[in-house]
Structure 1
Amino acid sequence: MNILAHLLLTTLLSTTALASPSSNNTTTHYPALTSPLGPVINLGYAAYAGNTTTPTGEANGTVAFFGGIPYAQPPVGELRFRAPQPLDETPASDGKPQVVDARNFGPACLQQPAVVGVGSEDCLLLNVWKPSNASEGDNLPVVGGGFYAGTTQGFPLYPWVTQDQQIVGVSMGYRLSVPGFLATPSLLASGDGNAGLRDQRAALDWVQRNIRSFGGDPQNVAIAGESAGGASVVMQIAAYGGQREVPFRRGTGQSIGFGPMMNDTQNAELFANITQWAGCPSSPESTALACLRTASLGALVSAINHTPLGAVSPTVDAAAGADAFLPDRPSRLIAQGKFASVGFTGGHCSNDGRTFVGGAPEDLQTEEEVASVPFKRWPGVTNETIQEALALYPPPSNASGAEFSSEYDRASIMAGDVIFTCMDWFLAEQMMRKGVQDVYAFQWNAPDPVLLKAAPYEGTMHTSDIYFLFEGTSADNAGFTFTPFNSTELALSQTAIAYWTSFASTGSPSTLRLPGSPEWLAFAPGYGRMVLTEATTATANATGAGTASAWEAFGDAHVERCLFWMREDVTAQTAV
C-alpha cells in the first residue's frame, strides 16, 4: 500500500541490493571523461554527468548524485504490457560515449489516480548516490531506495550516504497499476505478467553489471521496501519459487502490504473494464492487446482511473512455467520454504492496522461492526473464519490489564495482523526454520507528526517509519514535501538509518550502529524484536540517550494470532 493508504503498488519503493554469487566480476576500464556539468561515470555504452550540490545548495558536497539512468528499454508501443527488454550496452568503439546530463531525477512512472503530464511511461530509470570520492574498485556495499511507495524523488538516499560514507545508494522506478500488472491469459503464459516486479529485477540486474563503476560492490547488495515495497521485497525473495539465484544478499520488508491477489475470473473482469475505458474491444485477447498497445496516453490514463484502486497488482503467473515470477501465492511459497535464503529484517508500525481498519473510532463501536467493517478489504474471508478470529481478540474492557480499551483498538489490531503486522513475523520464522542466520525483527513506535496532526487517533500509523528514514517525507501522488526534524526526531532518524545501513552492509543492524544505540539482537535466540521509539526531550536531556528504543520479546498473543492469519486455509481466503 502506498502513502495514501489505499493504493496498492501504484508508486515506488526503496531498495538495497547484493550481487548473486555468480555475478561477472570482471571489469572493463573505460577512458576517464570530464564535463562542465559535473563528475562523469563512463559505463562504456553510456556516460553520465552527476551532481555534487547538496540539497541546501552548497557546491562540492560529500555525495554525488546521478539520476534518471535507464536500466531497460522504454516500455512503450509494442513493448507496452511486456516484460522489460534489455538495453543495448555495446560499448562505444572508442570507449568514449557522449556524456548525458544526469544531474536530476527522471520522470516518475504513471500513478493511480493518473494525470496526463504527471509521470511517464518511459520511466524505467534508476538513481545512484555515491560518496563524492568513491571510485571504481572501492567495492562499497550497495544500499538504496527504489521499492518505497511514491516516486523516487520522495525518498532520497542522500541522508543515508551522507551519514554513512561507506555505501552506495540506488533507487529505481518501475511500472505500476495497469501498465505494470495487467494480467491476461496470454500475458501470464508468455512471461509478460507481473511486469512491475520484472522491472525491479531488471534494475537489480543492471546494478550487477554496472555498479562497480560507481564504487559499489555487486557482491554486497540489499533491498528494502515499505508497504507495497515491503511486498515487493517478499516477492523478490520468493520469486521463481526460490529456484533462481537472486541479485541481492539481504532484504528489509517494512509493513508488508498486498492482496487480496486476483484470480483468473477477477482479472478477466478487470481486463474487460480496462479495454472499455481505453476504447478497445475486449476480445479476442490478441486484438484487445494490440489496441491497448497503440492507445493514446489519454486513453491509458482513463483506463487506469476507472480501475478500482489496488485491484491491478501482482498475481500468480504459474502459466509461464519455468519463467513464472510468482508460481504461487507468496504465503504458500513461504510456508513451503520456496524462497531465497537471504538475510532478512522485517517489521511494521505499531498502528499499521488503524490505516486499514476501514473507519474512524466512531465507525467501530460494536462487535458487529468489528466483524464487518475491517473485512470489506478481504471479501473472501468467511463468516466462520471471522468468528474464529474474534475469539483471538478479547472484547474491550476497562479492567486493569485489559488488552483493548475500545472496539476500535480491537478491530485495528486485527486489521493489521491480517498481513501488515504478521507477514514479517511469518517470513522471519520460516527463514529461521530454513537455517538463515541473519534474521531480525522490529516494531516502529514513533508516529509521523504530519500525519498524526491530521488524524490523531491513528497513532503510529502506516508509513510513520519512512518519515524518519527519508528526511521527513510526506507525499500525495508524486508530489512530495519534507518537514524539518526537531532534535529528538533527528536522533531517531540517524539511529534508524545507521541500523538499516548496517544490516545492508554487514548482515547485522548492530555492527555499525551509532554509539549509545542499544544492541539489536537476532530474531531467533531471543525470539524478539527491536522497538524503535523517539525519546522525549526531557528524557534525552536527562539521560543523554538519543532515542528510547529497546529490544523486547514477542508476546504470546501476537504469535498465536500470526499463526492463525498465516494458516493455509486462512491465507487461501485472504489470497495473500
Structure 2
Amino acid sequence: MNIEYLLLHFCYVVVVISAAVGRSLPTVDLGYAIHQGTINSTGSYYNFSNIRYGQAPVGPLRFSAPLAPEGRNTTINDGQRAVICPQADPFWLSNQLQFFTSLLTGQDVTRFIFPPASNGTTNFNISSLPQPSSETSEDCLFLDVIVPESIFKTGQEFGSDRGPWSVECEVGKPCRERSTQGAPVMVQIYGGGYTAGDKVSVGNPAGLIARSEENGSEGIIYVALNYRLGLFGWLSGDPDVTANAGLLDQRLALDWVQSNIHLFGGDPNRVTVFGESAGAGSIMHHITSYGGKGSVPFQQAIPQSPGFFPYTPSETTDIFSSVLGNASLIVQKTVNTTDELRALSFENLYNLNSLVVGQSPYGQFTFGPVVDASPDSYVPDLPGRLLAEGKFHKVPVLVGHNTNEGLLFTPPFVQTQDNFTSFLAQALPTTTVEQREDLATELYPAVYNGTYGYSIPIYRTALAISDLAFTCNAYWLRRTMKTSYGYLFSVPPGLHGQDIPFTFFNGDTSTLNDGVPVNETVAIGLQRYLTSFAITGIPKGIELYSEAGNVTNVNVTATGTQLRDPAARSQCEFWQAAPYYIQ
C-alpha cells in the first residue's frame, strides 16, 4: 500500500468526521448489525463504510465459498475501520511499466529487448517480499454504500410502502422525478489482475453521483465491495478447494444488495453492476454463471475492458502443485494437501501468495477465474463459448474497451517469428503446433505495413494479447446481447486502465502516472454515458449496437462519433471457439 493512498484515506476520514460535527447522522439496522453513516464534506451524501457482507474467510473457510453473516451485534458501527484483502503483484510488472513508458515517450528501449532471468521473473528470498499494510486482513469481505442524502431521506420516508412514481419540487429548483420504488444502484467491482485492488482505491464516486443528479435527475446509490484476491480467492486445481471463491464473494455481495439496498433508499430491481479489467471479466462470468440457468442479482451491466486469462484444467493442476511446493519451501516442511495449506499462518500464506504471484509468467498473474467441472458449477465453460451457445443471462449491457489494451502485458523481448511462436507455446501450452502456426502466419502474420493493425513486432504481440484477454470479450458481449451499447475509449495512447480516472473524475485534471492528463470534457461525457444507462437503461448519446455494429468514440477530439466496432474481426472467432482449450 503506497503512502499517497494512506494519506488520501486519512484525509478523507478527517473530512467526513469534521463534516458530521453538529448534525445527526443516520443509522441503518441490517438485522445482524447496525451501521451509522458519515457525511461528505459538502453534506450531499452519506457513506456507510465497511459493512460486513460475509463471514471471515479464515480457518476452515479458507479457499471455500463465502458464508453470509450470522448472529446480531447491537453495537453501532461507524465503519471507520478500513480493510483490504491481501494483495500481490507479479515481479515482471515493474519492468513492464518502465518499458512501455519508454516506448510511448520515444526513448531507447533496446535494453528491454533481452528477457530478464526466468522470462521476466526475479528470484527473491522471503525477507525481500513486500509485507502487508496495517489495513490488510483475510477478514476482508466488506462493502461500502454511498447514498445521496436526498435519496436516503426519501427512502426512509416511504419505507416499504412505495408507489410507482412521484414528483418532488423545491422552491427555486427544477422539479425532480423520483421513483418511489427506490433509486437506481451502481455496484462497482474493481480490477487489478485478480491479485490486487480494493473498494476504496478504485476511485471516489463523487463525480458519478454528481452526474447522476444533473438537470433534476434522481441520482444513484453507489456500492463498492471487496473480494478475495490471489490464492486466497482464486486457488483451484484440487477437489478440496472451491474454485472461483473470489467470484462467489462478489455474488454474495450482490445478493446482499438485493436483500438490503432498500434500507438505504435503493431499488433492488434497478441494479447496474460495473467494473474495469478483472472487475469486468468477473461481470462476464456472472452473466454466463451456471450456463444461464436461474437468474442474476442485477438487471444491467457495464463491463469496461472485460479481462481474464483462460487457464486450462491441466494448468490449474500445475499451479496448485506449484503452490504446495512453494509453501513447503516457505515453512521448511512438506505441505501436501489443501488442509495442510489451510492450517498455515496468515504470515506464511501472505508470503506464499506474494511469491507465487510474483513468479507469474510475463504478462500473466497466475490466478483468476477458471472453468469448474464440479456439479452445478458457477463457471461450467469459458464465457465466450457459453455466449455462443446461448447459455447466458440476458441483461442489457454497455460495454467499453480501450484502443491499446495489450501493451501493458506484452513481453518486450518477443521480436522475431520464433519469439512469437515460443511465446504462444508458453502462454497457451495446450495449443497445437498447427494452431500456433495459424496464429503466427494467418491471424497475426509478421506483416508490418499496417494492414493488420501493427507496424512493429511489439504491437503485433500486443494485439494478440489484447484480443485474447480483453477486446474480443467486449465484442462477444456487445454482439450477443439483444440490448447492448458499446463505446471505444481512444484517448491516446488508449492504454489498459487509462479510462479509470475518467470514470471516477472529480475535477482533478492533473497528469496521470502514465503522463496522460484527464480531459474534463471527455471524463464528464463518459460519466454521463454510465450514469444515464444506470438510471434509464439507455446511455444518452450512444446508439444501440444492433446489426450496424457501431460503437461510440470516446476521444478528446471526436467524442460521440460513431465507429465500426474495431473488434469485429475474424481473430475473435478463433478466440471464442478456443480450439486450444481442453477440459
Task: Find the aligned partners of 1:482 and 1:129 in 2 and give their Cα distance.
Answer: 26
Cα distance 1:48–1:483, how it changes in 2: closer, same or farther (>3 A)? farther
1:262·1:311 contact (CA, 8 Å) conserved in 2?
Answer: no
Specify the code of the residue in structure 2 equivalent to 1:563.
E
State the Cα deviation string for residues 302-333 of structure 1 (Å, max 9, x = none): 211221432232222222x12x2112232332
Residue 86 of structure 2 is matched in structure 1 by 110
Match for residue 392 of structure 1?
A: 443
User: Which residue of the partner structure matches residue 495 of structure 1?
Assistant: 525
| TM-score, scaled to structure 1 | 0.75
Shift, 1:46, TM fit: 2.3
> Which residue in the other structure is 1:175 paired with?
228
- Whether the 8 Å contact between 1:37 and 1:50 is mirrored in structure 2 is no
Cα 1:162–1:51 change in 2 (3 A) is farther
- Which residues in structure 2 correspond to 1:12-161 (within 5 Å)? 38-54=25-41, 60-88=42-70, 97-102=74-79, 104=80, 106-113=82-89, 115-118=131-134, 119-135=136-152, 136=155, 137=158, 138=180, 139-149=182-192, 150-155=197-202, 156-161=204-209
Relative to 1, partners in 2 of residues 1:249 and 1:276: Cα closer, same or farther, differing over 3 Å? same
Change in 2 beyond 3 A, CA 1:473/1:563? farther
1:422-444 CA distance string (max 9 Å, x none): 1111232232xxxx2x2122211
Deviation at 1:173, TM superposition (A): 0.1
Matched-pair contact (CA < 8 Å) for 2:271–2:299: yes
The equivalent residue for 1:348 is 401
The amino acid of 2:475's aligned partner reads W
Q: Does 1:534 align with 2:556?
A: yes
Aligned to 1:443: 488
Q: Give the whole-Å Cα distance in 1 for the aligned partners of 2:83 and 2:503.
A: 23
Aligned mates of 1:112, 1:173 — CA distance in 2: 15
Structure 1 residue 177: Cα displacement: 0.8
Q: Which residue of structure 2 lines up, in the alignment, with residue 522 of structure 1?
A: 544
Contact 2:501 2:518 (C-alpha < 8 Å) held by counterparts:
no
The answer to whether the 8 Å contact 2:37/2:49 transfers is yes
State the secondary structure of the residue aligned to 1:520.
coil
Shift of 1:217: 0.5
Report the Cα distance in structure 2 between the residues aligned to 1:82 and 1:403, rounded to whole angstroms: 44
CA shift, 1:375, in A, is 5.8
- CA offsets, 1:176-232, max 9 Å, x none? 1111122253335xxx33111110000001101110111111001111121111110
Paired position in structure 2 for 1:451: none
Residue 225 (structure 2) pairs with residue 215 (structure 1): no
Q: Distance in 2 between matches of 1:219 and 1:317?
A: 29
Between the aligned partners of 1:384 and 1:484, the Cα distance in structure 2 is 39
Alignment partner, residue 301 of structure 1: 350
Displacement of 1:495 after TM fit?
A: 0.8
Cα distance in structure 1, aligned partners of 2:279 and 2:516: 27
CA distance in 2, matches of 1:350, 1:218: 34
Q: Which residue of 2 aligns with 1:426?
A: 476
1:110-140: CA deviation from partner (whole Å, max 9, x where unpaired): 0014623352111100011111121224401
What is the DSSP-based 3-state SS (H/G/I as helix, E as strand, rest coil) of the residue aligned with 2:288?
helix
Once the two structures are overlaid, the 10-residue window that deviates more, 460-469 or 136-145, is 136-145
**What is the rounded CA distance, in whole Å, between the counterparts of 1:35 and 1:212 in structure 2?**
27
Determine whether 1:162 maps to 2:210.
yes
CA contact (8 A) 1:446 1:534 kept: yes
366 and 299 in structure 1: CA distance in 2 versus 1, 3 angstrom threshold:
closer
Matches within 5 A, 1:475-490: 489-490=519-520
Match of 2:274 in 1: 224
Q: Give TM-score, length-normalised by structure 2.
A: 0.74
* Shift, 1:276, TM fit: 1.6
Contact 1:73 1:87 in 2 (8 A): yes
| 1:56-102 deviations in Å (ceiling 9; x for gaps) | xxxx4212211111001111222222211111266x8xxxx432112
Pick the aligned partner of 2:245 from 178, 195, 200: 195
Q: Secondary structure at 2:579's aligned position in 1?
A: helix
- 1:176 and 1:429, CA in 2 relative to 1: closer, same or farther beyond 3 A? same
Rounded Cα–Cα distance in structure 2 between residues aligned with 1:472 and 1:160: 8
> What is aligned with 2:571?
561
Report matched runs for 1:323-334 at 5 Å. 324-334=377-387
- Aligned residue number for residue 321 of structure 2: 269
Say if 1:274 and 1:247 are closer, same or farther in 2 by CA, change over 3 A: farther
Question: What is the letter of the counterpart of residue 520 of structure 1?
Answer: I
SS state of the match for residue 141, structure 1?
strand
Moved more, 463-472 or 296-305: 463-472
Check 1:375–1:505 CA distance in 2 against 1; reply closer, same or farther (3 A cut).
Answer: farther
Structure 2: gaps of 5 or more residues: 1-20, 90-129, 159-179, 214-218
Counterparts of 1:268 and 1:367, CA distance in 2: 32
- 1:3-22 C-alpha deviation (Å, 9 max, x unpaired): xxxxxxxxxxxxxxxxxxxx
User: In 1, distance between residues paired with 2:425 and 2:516?
Assistant: 38
Q: Are residues 296 and 422 of structure 1, via their aligned partners in 2, closer, same or farther at CA, if it must alter by over 3 Å?
A: same
Shift of 1:412: 2.1
| 1:402 Cα deviation from its structure 2 partner | 7.7
Q: Is the 8 A contact 1:317 1:328 kept in 2?
A: yes
Q: Call closer, same or farther: CA 1:487–1:304 in 2, change over 3 Å.
A: closer
Identify the residue that residue 368 of structure 2 maps to in structure 1: 313
| Residues 345-400 of structure 1: CA deviation (Å, up to 9, x unaligned) | 223110112122211xxx4544444444466433333332233223234544558x
Root-mean-square deviation (CA), in Å? 3.0
Instruction: Give the distance between the partners of 2:416 and 2:432, measured in 1 at CA.
Output: 19
State the distance in 1 between where 2:199 and 2:292 align. 28
